[in-house]
Amino acid sequence: MPIFEYRCRACGAQFEKIHAASVTAVTCVQCASPQVERLLSVFAVGSSPRSGAASADGPCARCGARERGLCSG
């Protein structure tokens, strides 16, 4: 489920809630006011190198082995 960020128009509190995108009735976690606005959020995606990624160490672009035909995968 996604994390949504909100700001309460009544008290100014900012908070996050985890819920389905179809949920429309959200109340402030501080003052319980239903006058909240959803904020525009950004997210980051990271990754780690794959085990079969190309390497600059060898001629094999698939696994980086020093000689062709010595691929481990």
pLDDT tens readout for residues 11-65: 999 999 998 988 889 999 999 999 999 998 777 676 665 555 444 555 666 676 6
The secondary structure of residue 39, as a DSSP letter, is P
pTM: 0.55
So what's the pLDDT on residue 42? 73
What is the model's pLDDT at position 55?
46
List C-alpha distances in Å: 36 to 2, 22, 33: 17, 16, 7
